[in-house]
Structure 1
């Protein structure tokens, strides 16, 4: 006889899942029993996080790297509530994860069980309702298989995100016959959204007769980016990415003008102005604050906009657009690219293979600082140097705070030749912007692909929240390079207070030796106070071998990160006393 926990794992194996990230406990124990049985036969195994929010972040990193569904679990009570921030982060960024939380036994609901989270206790199912695509209590053993399939279906749909199953102890432990026949998983295969033919023709008619076009690649353009770059080259159209789409285009491509939006580049803004773009074609982006530079009406959000996405929630925000196309960007442009490229009359523009220190066509706020080597380490120079020295196929994550501001603006993506279009090497958790997101996600990403190096930039504030997850990278022998930007402050908040004229309060952190902390954990570490010390480290060698390493980077906290668009939104909310 099998138990329902074994049934769950059997379905997850068919989806190619390799790990479940979580923290064990009493009410989830039957699921961990099933995981132990699975591991003994070489199937799915568990990776034990240090905190449940870290487990959710790891599941997200795993999903980002593999394209499969990530899975995390927790026991009842605080185990479930600890997952919430990580689940909300995956929801905000549209990452498919399956979230399994335990409940005490059904017959004990309302009896004041230890860690009770039923509808008569601390109602966790209700808590998950607003940060999941599917959310349910499995109240009877016969429901589990159907609800599991429904959960996975919602998680990997064209509106992807987390799906939550709350499973009582006795339901998880319920026995089922060994020879029970699994249901079909056809609903989870080949579910790309096909565009309407009339919409395709309208798009083709519009673009065929337009010379000045700027393509804006959001995260949903993944998989279509090679087609889009080829199309831009054939017609001399400009290329821009949103912050989440950064990484889909090589930063040194001659048609690329940088990131538009949060921490973006003025060259990208110029590429979207009416004098440079008769049409702005936004692909796979939600048109939220961070991808529209605080809803700037002079760039993307105008009647020049053509908006294409497979996610209908994205398109609900493009009410001003001249044309909206619901469909997979890969299918949309695959259908019309040959015609547009065949009709092209412009000079072809091939990708650059330059070893130049900075892209020529992207306008940085402080380009001269990117090359500075003297004095305290400038984050601008750190990002530029590391993007040059790290292997081109490194997976890079930028944590919430100054890290993702500096990274969006100053990290230069050099996409290797032959890199699959589905691969985005630059990762940020910008939707919910949870501190410590990158720490857990980098571990999930490294576990998913142990052959590739993972580079995680985080701040001292984030590391003090979640740095203990580094012990998992050690335990799993994962190739993770953790760089802690140490300025003894909550840097993004600190600079935000300065720029907004707010009170200077609550941002100072104690001076911490993060290298010593890492050594205490058994992790290789180095304190880096100058660019010369960083250059002397053999970064490629560190990234060529398994096992984690931490660099405690003492950065110049006086350097102001590119906060412009964010400050415009924040200060615009301040009432005018006049």
Structure 2
């Protein structure tokens, strides 16, 4: 029997249940501090319901693993870091994902607001500003009821348009305070808050590309990572072979053609 009903609901439960609803099966991180409520919920029932945790010795490794997972599966990578140094250690991996348009949900813990400016261990780092230049979106959450919508918004942004990493900061109060059954009702199915179909090109830009190809004397196609994001390898190959256009890829497009 699942242990999820033994303890009262808290913010950690809302995080795990939101990830389960999204279909997340793998998260990468290092247990510590404020993140314990999330890992506790995973241990009580999350693992049984499908979430596998990959423990690392350093948060940077967790970030790179989540990046690799997203590249290999075409889905969303999830990594976690505790307050202060834990989040800072994720930066090199997040920069890589930002540069290559890889969708990551970067979860960082943060001390309770009451401890701001007190010199508390691992406190004092403005994580939102740290992540601002290298993520598409930054959200700080202070109360449990905010969690479902914050996760939904973050994932929608990460997976929409030009994909990329997003940063979700959970204050200690958001994770340790009690949640309600009403909060659970705010956890929606993915199709209710984000597009699930593969991204398509801008119709105007496509028409311009057709004109360019028709008038080009020696056309050459260089495909990028958008081919993988749109799952359009077969269309790319068909275009290249039908019209006898040589085709190559950028580093992010490697694997798109045989």
TM-score range, shorter chain: 0.7 to 0.9
Return the offset for 1:236: 2.0
Which of 229, 242, 267 is equivalent to 2:237?
229
Is 1:55 the counterpart of 2:62 in the alignment? yes
Is 1:82 the counterpart of 2:89 in the alignment? yes
Q: Which residue of 1 aligns with 2:43?
A: 36
Answer whether contact 1:157 1:191 (CA < 8 A) is retained.
no
Q: Which residue of 1 aligns with 2:252?
A: 244
| Residues 39 and 184 of structure 1: CA distance in aligned 2, closer, same or farther (over 3 Å) | closer
| Residues 122 and 210 of structure 1: CA distance in aligned 2, closer, same or farther (over 3 Å) | closer
| Cα distance in 2 for residues equivalent to 1:246 and 1:45 | 28
Return the offset for 1:33: 1.0
Task: Point out where structure 1 has 5 or more consecutive residues left out of the alignment.
Answer: 251-578
Task: Point out where structure 2 has 5 or more consecutive residues left out of the alignment.
Answer: 1-7
Answer whether contact 2:14 2:147 (CA < 8 A) is retained.
no
Query: Secondary structure at 1:122's aligned position in 2?
Result: coil
Query: Secondary structure at 1:76's aligned position in 2?
Result: coil
Q: With the length of structure 2 as denominator, give the TM-score of the two structures.
A: 0.86
Return the offset for 1:22: 0.5
Q: Which residue of 1 aligns with 2:155?
A: 152
| Cα distance in 2 for residues equivalent to 1:37 and 1:166 | 23
Return the offset for 1:228: 2.2
Ranked by relative contact order (alpha carbons within 8 Å, sequence separation 6 or more), the top structure is: 2
Moved over 6 A (4+): none
Q: Which residue of 1 aligns with 2:4?
A: none
Is 1:137 the counterpart of 2:140 in the alignment? yes
- Greater Rg, structure 1 or structure 2? 1
Q: Which residue of 1 aligns with 2:12?
A: 5
Answer whether contact 1:97 1:155 (CA < 8 A) is retained.
yes
Q: Which residue of 1 aligns with 2:112?
A: 105
Is 1:168 the counterpart of 2:171 in the alignment? yes
Q: Which residue of 1 aligns with 2:190?
A: 185
Which deviations, in whole Å up to 9, do the C-alpha atoms of 1:44-84 show, x marking residues without a partner? 13211110000000111111111121111111121111111
Which of 87, 92, 96 is equivalent to 2:99?
92
Q: With the length of structure 1 as denominator, give the TM-score of the two structures.
A: 0.40
| Cα distance in 2 for residues equivalent to 1:178 and 1:228 | 48
- Report the count of equivalent residues: 245
Return the offset for 1:200: 4.1
Q: Which residue of 1 aligns with 2:121?
A: 114
Q: Which residue of 1 aligns with 2:226?
A: 220
Which deviations, in whole Å up to 9, do the C-alpha atoms of 1:256-315 show, x marking residues without a partner? xxxxxxxxxxxxxxxxxxxxxxxxxxxxxxxxxxxxxxxxxxxxxxxxxxxxxxxxxxxx
Return the offset for 1:2: 1.9
| Cα distance in 1 for residues equivalent to 2:110 and 2:205 | 47
Answer whether contact 2:132 2:138 (CA < 8 A) is retained.
yes
Answer whether contact 1:30 1:169 (CA < 8 A) is retained.
no
Which deviations, in whole Å up to 9, do the C-alpha atoms of 1:453-505 show, x marking residues without a partner? xxxxxxxxxxxxxxxxxxxxxxxxxxxxxxxxxxxxxxxxxxxxxxxxxxxxx
Q: Would you tell me which structure has more helix in proportion to its own residues?
A: 2
Answer whether contact 2:225 2:252 (CA < 8 A) is retained.
yes
Q: Which residue of 2 aligns with 1:16?
A: 23
Q: RMSD across aligned C-alpha pairs, in angstroms?
A: 2.1
